[in-house]
Chains A and B, each alone.
Chain A
Amino acid sequence: AQSVTQLGSHVSVSEGALVLLRCNYSSSVPPYLFWYVQYPNQGLQLLLKYTTGATLVKGINGFEAEFKKSETSFHLTKPSAHMSDAAEYFCAVSRGNQGGKLIFGQGTELSVKP
């Protein structure tokens, strides 16, 4: 069975500081991993995804994530936080041979202080 754990339901950073959102997964098959962002009362927007190939994945809005198989992790980072980054972030793993059938973590709410 697959699962996703996001460490920290709330993360607060200052504007300009490093953003680090943690995600660990459990999967019995090679995982396909995703990070989504959700702004209040909106749907989810894909930030980036890892399928195969390069383990450091770059996404939109300056975010990137690194797939570390040995640590079963897929942490999301951004070197310098911007006020507009304040949102909820979800890590997800694909459930196998049906794309879009995702298992989500509980989400991490990111606050950015001026």
Chain B
Amino acid sequence: SQTIHQWPATLVQPVGSPLSLECTVEGTSNPNLYWYRQAAGRGLQLLFYSVGIGQISSEVPQNLSASRPQDRQFILSSKKLLLSDSGFYLCAWSVLDRWNTEAFFGQGTRLTVV
């Protein structure tokens, strides 16, 4: 069966510090990968998606970047965090080339920028 791992679970970082959140998927090949952000009291916003190694699409301009160095690894990064980067970050995957499929989510990372 497929599983998705996301870490760390919680993170407190000072303003201006770098960020690296990692997500890996097991049990499937060539997945679509996604990073979503959930700000307090708001819905989920798609930040990045990837259909393959090195292929990253950004949905919204922001202080963050994403990379996919391996087929089942997705990394969310920032060089200098802002207070507005605080939120709950969720990694997700879906089956490639199936447009009626759902997304499967990791357990999330609670990021607090102080």
Chain A contacts to B: CB under 8 angstroms: 9, 32, 34, 36, 41-46, 49, 51-52, 90, 94, 96-107
Instruction: State the CA gap A34–B92 with chains docked (Å).
Output: 15
CB distance from A106 to the nearest CB of B (A): 4
Taking a contact as CB atoms under 8 Å apart, the answer to whether A32 and B43 are in contact is no
CB distance from A59 to the nearest CB of B (A): 11
Interface size class of B (residues with CB under 8 A): 20 to 34
Q: Does B11 contact A (CB under 8 A)?
A: no
Contact with A along B69-110 (1 / 0, CB 8 A): 000000000000000000010101111001111111111101
Which residue from B32, B43, B88, B107 sits with its C-beta under 8 Å from A99? Answer: B32
Taking a contact as CB atoms under 8 Å apart, the answer to whether A99 and B110 are in contact is no
Instruction: State the CA gap A101–B46 with chains docked (Å).
Output: 8
CB distance from B32 to the nearest CB of A (A): 5
Tell me which of B34, B99, B104, B108 has the highest count of chain A C-beta atoms within 10 A of its own C-beta: B99
Given contacts A49-B102, A100-B34, contact A43 B90 (CB under 8 A): yes
Contact with A along B29-50 (1 / 0, CB 8 A): 0001010000001111010010
**How many A-B contacts if CB must be within 8 Å?**
77
Which residue from A9, A41, A94 sits with its C-beta under 8 Å from B100? Answer: A94
Chain B contacts to A: CB under 8 angstroms: 6, 9, 32, 34, 41-44, 46, 49, 51, 88, 90, 92-95, 98-108, 110
Taking a contact as CB atoms under 8 Å apart, the answer to whether A107 and B43 are in contact is yes
Taking a contact as CB atoms under 8 Å apart, the answer to whether A46 and B43 are in contact is no
Closest to A91 in B: B43
Given contacts A41-B108, A43-B108, A107-B43, contact A102 B100 (CB under 8 A): no
Taking a contact as CB atoms under 8 Å apart, the answer to whether A100 and B32 are in contact is yes
Instruction: State the CA gap A44–B103 with chains docked (Å).
Output: 9
Taking a contact as CB atoms under 8 Å apart, the answer to whether A41 and B32 are in contact is no
Tell me which of B42, B98, B105, B108 has the highest count of chain A C-beta atoms within 10 A of its own C-beta: B105
Taking a contact as CB atoms under 8 Å apart, the answer to whether B49 and A106 are in contact is no
For B108, the chain A residues whose CB sits under 8 A away are 41-43
Taking a contact as CB atoms under 8 Å apart, the answer to whether A99 and B103 are in contact is yes
Instruction: State the CA gap A98–B46 with chains docked (Å).
Output: 13
